[in-house]
Structure 1
Amino acid sequence: MYDPHTETLDQLRIGNLRCLQPRKGYRFSVDAMLLADFLRVERDERLIDLGSGSGILPLLCAALTAAREIVGLELQERLAQLAQRNVELNELTARIRIVQGDLKQVSHLFRAGEFDVLCSNPPYRKIGSGRRNPGTEQAIARHEIACALNDLTAAAKYLVKPGGKAFFIYLPERLSELCVALTSHRLEPKAMRCVHSHAAAPASLVLIEARRDAAPGMDVLPPLFLYDEENIYSEEAKRILRENGC
C-alpha cells in the first residue's frame, strides 16, 4: 500500500517495473536508465549500487541483467525503506538486498572485493556550486554533502574485486576529477560515452566504465544523442527508455 498524498506509484516500461517515489523529495531521472543500459553484468555476477535512492538502479539491473545478486546501499533511512518496499512490490527479494549505511563505512558492511560489478549515479556537484535543492533529501542526492568524489572511488576500490568493473554517470565538467579519483584508487577508466540532448549540443552527462587494476587505455565510444532534430527521442533513446514499444 502507498499514500497517494505523499507518494507516487510509477509504472516503468522497462521490465514492467513499478516504483514508489516521494511526491516531494528525491525522485529518479533518466540518468538511472542511461546508466543501467550502459553497464554490463555477466550471469551469476554480484553487483552493488552505491546511493540507491528509492532503489531504481537495483530494480533496472534486475530487469536488464542476469546478475545473481544485487545490493543497493543507501544512506538515508526514508529512501532505504522506500527502496525495500519497491523490491517487495516487484517481488525481487530473491535477487535484491537493500542495505542502509554510509559508503564511507563500507569496510564495516562488506568484505573487501566482495562484488564483481559496481555502479553509481552519485552526487554531481560540490558544495557551493550550482543551485542546491531546498529539501535535504534532494540536496544529499545532488550535492557532495554526505560524501565527496574521493569517498565514492575509495569505496568502489574496496568493494570491487581485482579485475572487477565499476560504472558511473557524471558531469562532463568534472570528468578530469573523476578520472584522477578513479586512477588514484587503482580503478582504470576503460570506456567513456558522452550523452548529448541533440547533435549540436555539448555533452550534458558522461558514462564511464572503469576496471580495477587494469592497464591504461580507454575507448571513447560514439556519443549518445537523446533527441533528433525534430525534438523527439532518437531511435537509441527510444530503445533505452522503451518508448513507442521499442
Structure 2
Amino acid sequence: MTSDELKLFDLRLYQPKHGYRYSLDALLLARFCPILKPGGSIADLGAGCGVISLVLARVNPDATVMAVENNLVMAEIIARNIQHNDLSSRVTVHNEDVLTLRSNCTDSTFDLVVSNPPFRTAGSGRISPRAGRDAARHETTAGLADFLAAAKYLVKPSGRICLIQLPSRLPELMALAAQQKLAVLRLRTIHNNAGSPASMFMVELAKGRRSTPVVEAPLFVRDMAGEYTDEVWR
C-alpha cells in the first residue's frame, strides 16, 4: 500500500503498491465533468480507490457522492480514503456490481454519473502480470453497455453522464448511446502531444433530450518537448 498526495485537491489517497493504481485519465475525467449546483449528487461507477469520487467532492463542496466498486479490497480502500480525508459526511462507498444497482438504488436520483470503466473487452489487449490491474482494464461481469444502462438508470433527466474510453470504442459507444436514447452533448479527445493520434476520449451524455454534439478542442497532455502542458498542470 502507498499513500499519495494530490495537493491541488487537498487529498491523500491510499492505493495498492502493485495492481490497479489511478492514472492521469481519472483526473482528466474528473475535471471534464460539469460543476454542479449546490446540493448536487454524484455517482461514480467502478470507483477504484475512489480518486474521482474524492476529487469531485472537493470540486463540488456541497455535493454528496456515492462510490460504487465491485472489488471488496478496493471498496475497503475507498472507505479508508473517505475517512482519512474527512469526507465521511458526504461520500459513501457501495461494494456492488453495476449489474445489480437497479435492485438496490432508486432511479433518476443523481445529477451526475461518472465512470472510468474498464477500457478493453474481455480477452483483448495485453494482459497485465500484476494482480488487480487486469480486472480494472478489461471488462469482466459488466461491459460498456451495462455501464451506460446503469448510468442512465441512476441519472436525473436534467443530469449528466461523463465517461472516458479508448478511441477504438467510440463507434460502439455512439451506437449504444443511440440505442439507449442518450444524447451526446460533448466529446473531447486526449492526445499525448500535438503530433500524436488520440489515445482516449471523454464524452458527456444526457437522457431524455436531443442535442447536437459539441466536439471540443483536443486536450494535449505534453508539449513537443515532452513536458506537461499548462492545461494538464492546471
Q: TM-score range by the shorter chain?
A: over 0.9
Distance 1:134 1:184 in 2: 36
Q: Which residue of 1 aligns with 2:10?
A: 16
Q: 1:60 aligns with which of 55, 59, 62?
A: 55
Residue deviations 1:55-90 (CA, integer Å, cap 9, x gap): 111111011224521110000000000000000000
Q: Note if contact 1:106-1:155 (Cα within 8 Å) is conserved in structure 2.
A: yes
Q: Which runs of 5+ in 1 are unaligned?
A: 1-6, 240-246
Return closer, same or farther for 1:32/1:67 CA change in 2, 3 Å cut-off: farther
Greater alpha carbon shift after TM alignment, 202-211 vs 62-71: 62-71
Q: Note if contact 1:41-1:117 (Cα within 8 Å) is conserved in structure 2.
A: no
Distance 1:110 1:162 in 2: 16
Is 1:146 matched with 2:141? yes
User: What's the CA shift for 1:135?
Assistant: 4.2
SS at the partner of 1:217? coil
Distance 2:4 2:136 in 1: 20
Q: 2:228 aligns with which of 220, 233, 238?
A: 233
Q: 2:155 aligns with which of 154, 160, 163?
A: 160
Alignment of 1:85-124 (within 5 A): 85-124=80-119
Q: Note if contact 1:41-1:66 (Cα within 8 Å) is conserved in structure 2.
A: no
Is 1:126 matched with 2:121? yes
Return closer, same or farther for 1:229/1:141 CA change in 2, 3 Å cut-off: same
Q: Which runs of 5+ in 2 are unaligned?
A: none
Q: Which residue of 2 aligns with 1:32?
A: 26
SS at the partner of 1:94? coil
Name the TM-score, length of structure 2 as normaliser: 0.96
Alignment of 1:76-87 (within 5 A): 76-87=71-82
Residue deviations 1:31-61 (CA, integer Å, cap 9, x gap): 1100011001312110000000111111110
Greater alpha carbon shift after TM alignment, 225-234 vs 85-94: 225-234
Q: Which residue of 2 aligns with 1:182?
A: 177
User: What's the CA shift for 1:9?
Assistant: 0.5
Q: Note if contact 1:9-1:20 (Cα within 8 Å) is conserved in structure 2.
A: yes
SS at the partner of 1:132? coil
**Structure 1 counterpart of 2:65, one-letter code:** I
Greater alpha carbon shift after TM alignment, 30-39 vs 59-68: 59-68
Return closer, same or farther for 1:33/1:127 CA change in 2, 3 Å cut-off: same
User: What's the CA shift for 1:145?
Assistant: 1.2
Q: Note if contact 1:47-1:67 (Cα within 8 Å) is conserved in structure 2.
A: no
Q: Note if contact 2:109-2:154 (Cα within 8 Å) is conserved in structure 1.
A: yes
Distance 2:139 2:98 in 1: 13
User: What's the CA shift for 1:136?
Assistant: 4.8
**Structure 1 counterpart of 2:19, one-letter code:** G
